[in-house]
Amino acid sequence: MGDGCFDPPDQGHSDAALLGTVLAVQANYYWVRLAQTVRVDVSSEPIEFLLCTRRTRLKKIGQQVMVGDRVQVEEPDWSGHRGAITQVLPRQTQLDRPPIANVDQILLVFALAEPALDPVQLSRFLIKAESTGLQISLTLNKADLLAVDTQVSWQQRLQQWGYNPMLLSLQHRQGLAAIQTQLDRRITVVSGPSGVGKSSLINALIPKIELRTSTVSGKLGRGRHTTRHVELFELPTGGLLADTPGFNQPDLTCGPAELARYFPEARQRLEQAACQFSNCLHRDEPNCVVRGDWERYTHYLTFLEEAILYQQAIDRRGEEESTLKVKSKGNGLRQSEPKLAAKKYRRPSRRTEKQTLRELYQDSDDQDAD
C-alpha cells in the first residue's frame, strides 16, 4: 500500500510529478503503484495505481522501464486512472534474467521431501543466486515430512555450506511468520524448482493474490496470471514479491575464474589466504588454498568444467563477431559476411618527400649527362 494519502493538485498545477513503483509491464503499458494514494475528492475512493505509458523522450534516449523501477509520473488522468512515466530514478540493483530492478534479496525455496532435496541441484541454484550479488534467504519446505533429527542434520549440513536455512511447513504453518519478517518492506524474487511449494507459499503470504492478479490482468488486457511475465505482488507487510520463471532452470553463466567466489566455503578460504597463482582454478595447482576436503568441492569441479565450456563459447563468439559484419538485406533479413581487411594509408613525411624529389632530380641529371 502507499505511504499515505493526499489530495491531487488543482488543474492549474496538473503537471506536478508523482512517484511510484512499476509492478507490471505489458507491451507499452506500465502498472504503477503510487508512493502515496490520491483522493480526488472527499467522497471518492483513494487511487493507489495508475496505468501508464512511457514518454517518447525516454524511448529516444534508450531508457528502459523495468518492473521494480521507481519512476516519476506526470499528467495524471484521475478519472481514467492513467498517467505518463517521465523519469526513471537511479536503480540500486538490476537483474537481466528476470528483468527486474531494485531487488533486495532472493528467496530460494526447496523441499526437504517430495521431491527429495538434491545437493547438486541446490548448489546450482545457490551459485546462480550468488552471482547476482544479492542477499540470499534459503527456505526448506515440507519439513513436517521428515523426522526432527533429519531436519537438524540438514540444517547443520547447510550451515557448513555457509547458509542458515529456515524450515517451513505450510501444512502446519510452521516457520511462516519468520519468512514474513524476512520479506518485510523489501523487494524479493522467489526462486526454486517445480513441486517444492512456491505457489502455495505465495498464496499463504498473499491471501488476496487472485484478486490482485485479475485486476492487473484486466487493466493490461491479459488473461490469468502466469509466470511467463515478471510481476510484483504486494505483501500485507508492505514488501513486494516477484514470482518469475527466470531462475527456475538456472544455467551457469559465469567464467571459471569467478566460480569459486560463489561458494561461501571457498570464499572464506580465499579471504584467509591467497593461492600461489593469481589465475588458480583450484584443481591441481600447487599451494592452492581452496582445494581440500570440504563437502561441495566435487560439485565445484563439476561446475568448473561447465564454466570453462561457457567461457570458450563466449571467446569463440567474440572471434566470429570480430571477423564478420552484418548487412541488412531488406524485409527484415540480415546476413553475415567476412570483413575485408582494410589497408592502412599513411601520408609520407616531408623529409621523405624531399628525399624522393632529390632522387628524381639526380636521375634526371644523369640522363641529361648521357
pLDDT at position 13, please? 39
pLDDT band for position 28 (50/70/90)? confident
C-alpha cell at 37: 494514494
Looking at domain 256-321, its CATH class is: mainly alpha
Q: Give the DSSP letter string of 222-281.
A: --S--TTS-BEEE-TTS-EEEE-GGGTS------HHHHGGGSHHHHHHHHH---SSTT--
Least confident range from 35-44, 145-154, 345-354: namely 345-354
**Euclidean distance between the first and final Cα of the chain, in Å?**
103
218 DSSP β-pair partners: none
DSSP code for 343: P
Average pLDDT, integer, range 276-280: 94
CATH number of 100-247: 3.40.50.300
∠ CA(316), CA(321), CA(325), 5° rounding?
A: 155
Residue 259 confidence (pLDDT) above 60 = yes
Q: What is the mean pLDDT of residues 237-265?
A: 83
State how far the Cα of 253 lies from the Cα of 77, in Å rounded to an integer.
44
State residue 347's pLDDT score.
Answer: 63
Q: Which residues is 38 bridged to in the sheet? A: 6, 47
Q: Between residues 330 and 180, which one has the greater pLDDT?
A: 180
Please give the mean pLDDT across all residues of the chain.
83
Q: Which helix (H) or strand (E) holds 361?
A: helix 350-369
- Give the lowest-confidence range in 107-121, 124-138, 237-251, 291-305: 237-251
What is the CATH superfamily name and number for domain 5-90?
A: Nucleic acid-binding proteins (2.40.50.140)
Closest to 244 measured CA to CA, from 88, 68, 92: 68
pLDDT tens-place string over residues 159-174: 999 999 999 999 899 9
The neighbour count for residue 149, using CB atoms within 10 Å, is: 7
| Of the ranges 125-129, 192-196, 222-226, the best mean pLDDT one | 125-129
DSSP letter at 97 equals T
Residue 300: predicted pLDDT: 97
pLDDT tens sequence across 52-76: 999 999 989 999 999 999 999 998 8
Q: Please, what is the angle between helix 119-130 and helix 297-323, to 10°?
A: 50
Instruction: List pLDDT tens digits, range 187-219.
Output: 999 989 888 988 889 989 998 776 444 444 445
- DSSP-derived 3-state class of residue 265: helix
CA distances to 126, 158, 259, 335 from 264, rounded to whole Å, are 10, 11, 11, 45
**Contact yes or no for 45/81 (Cβ under 8 A):** no
Q: How confident is the model at residue 104 (pLDDT cuts 50, 70, 90)?
A: very high
Which residue would you say has higher pLDDT here, 352 or 132? 132
pLDDT at 15: 47
Domain ranges of the chain: 5-90, 100-247, 256-321
- Among the residue ranges 22-26, 128-132, 204-208, 228-232, the one predicted with the least confidence is 228-232
For residue 107, how many C-alpha atoms fall within 13 Å in the half-sphere facing its CB? 32
Asked whether the predicted pLDDT for residue 138 surpasses 90, the reply is yes
